[in-house]
Structure 1
Amino acid sequence: MSTETTTAPTIDRIVVGFDGSEQSTAALEHTLSLAEGVGAAVDVVTSWRWPLTWSTLPVANTWSPLHDAEEIRQHAVEVIERHGSHTVGVTTRAVEGGATEVLLEAAADADLLVVGSRGRGGFRGLLLGSVSAACVQHATCPVLVHRGEDTTTPDTTALDTTTPDPTAQVPTRHAPTTHHGPGTIVVGVDGSPESGRALRFAVLLARKLGHDVRTITTWQWPAALNRDEPPFDHWSPEQDALSTASSALDAAEDLIDDDVHVRSELVEGPAAEVLLEASRDATLLVLGSRGLGGFRGLLVGSVGQECAQHASCPVVIHRS
């Protein structure tokens, strides 16, 4: 685990992309609830621009994409009023430019960027792999991908993981919970600096929202190793996973108090499948932008992207 000096994370300003679609409406409602819980201001952003060939058509003289963008912005205002959010400052604006560039610029000094998994209008093509994926790849702040009400249950039928042993020496902090349901933030921990910062971010959210934290460190035997030959007859990757999980909690100890319940688990299995299974009962899944060890290959576009596409809960890819 990295021993680099870290500061306590903050969540004071959240930017959310809005295009009027059901997905972005759900993302906005989720953002408003989250902002109320953490005491953050919300900046609702809609993008618009002229199609490159639009000026050659007669209708260009009577219609403007800004007009549509303003209607979408007004729809955002209605969503905000319907939500009844009075404890946070909320602004709405329509900004000229491509969706990706507008969102990235708006979030340059934000603490969190929220995007729907897909959209239309101002964020047409907001599918993972396009605008949302670009934001996850290039934003300078954590990005929350909200998949909306049509979230599908991940297919983990082929998953062969080891059920955590409650008697194992798994590190815990402050009255670990034994139930992982609503109000549980799951964090992938692998010993990388990125996952360490993701854990600190998750603990901050948990403290403000009254949630529990469940950290998961995966481990696997490399297929080519003979477990019965030295040095593997006296060592296992599970031992490294245990050390990693313990070090991660030690590094976040300054943020953990009696109001934050944290439990760590070691699970044998592929990282993405383990995390997708854990997302079934989670409120939020938090991952570092890239990782190593138990989450080797946790680069945005691999495990992180797979979780953002298929998790059963919103996913935060933590970038710093």
Structure 2
Amino acid sequence: MPVTRRALAPAAVALAATLLLAACGSGGNAAADLAGGNKAGTAPNGATINLTPQQNRVTTAKVDAIAALVPEEVRRRGTLQVAASVGSVPPLGFYATDDKTVIGTEPDIAYLVGDVLGLKVELNPVSWENVFVGLDSGKYDVGITNVTVTEARKEKYDFATYRLDILGFEAKKGGSWKVTGPADVAGHVIGVSSGTNQEKLLLAWNDANVKAGLKPVDVKYYQNSSDYYLALGSGRIDAWLGPNPSGAFHAAQTGETEIIGTYSGAGDTVLGKIAATTKKDNGLVKALNEALNETIKNGSYGQVLKRWGLDNEAVKTSEINPPGLPKTN
């Protein structure tokens, strides 16, 4: 981890200690710890987030005409193998209070798709990079795990969109610093996860700043929430750039941080979109697209987003392979 640059403030020490215990405690759960040890948290929109394994998920009916679009091999198997990159901060994909049940917005969307297609969903918790390794090898049918559409990824994968991609810069609460564009991050220390579209966006902003004669961004890489929140609390990074839903939830629970700026995950030229991701030309994307549009039409999709506080990221329709984060970014 990067070397600490300034002394710890008392509030930062308290936050760091809480998160360290969440990461290292025997049987601990970071999501529950962030919610004060409760079985529920509060989303920024006021929705109560159930953190327990007993989810009472939103369900919907099978649609035979859409199920018929599923490739025969998958229909015979009867299961939809879903890759899920699991974090520790709600509401996207994380472990419930039992530390083994994967819950969140992304699993709920996956189960809805499975309902429409008449397939039993099997969630496979894997690291971010192994989502794509598993898709490439055919081990997993689809990744439903906050994957942003990019032009580079479209060369290898097909996409069926289901949510807007909004990134958030999370910093200590109470400062005057706001982020609205590239110039605002010049000279700052920003944390990000490698291999993500937020990393690509941050590096593109940094390149633009350097070309404009501004100070470069000092980019620090973290993969685990316990690590980057310790770094944020101790002042080793000035801000964390990640999915806005997770950052906003964390800020709402701790009261120690705030979102100082949001941005489209595809930059300033394209509206970023999150999509179900499947191996290119494997014949599954049409079925996924039709299933998602069925859930949007029948209202079950809206119910899922509302229960997790993400109704402001809803799409009106699922698209197949829309414009994504440009390669030039």
Please state which band the TM-score falls in when normalised by the shorter chain: under 0.3
Larger RCO (alpha carbons 8 Å, 6+ apart): 2
TM-score by length of 1: 0.27
TM-score by length of 2: 0.26
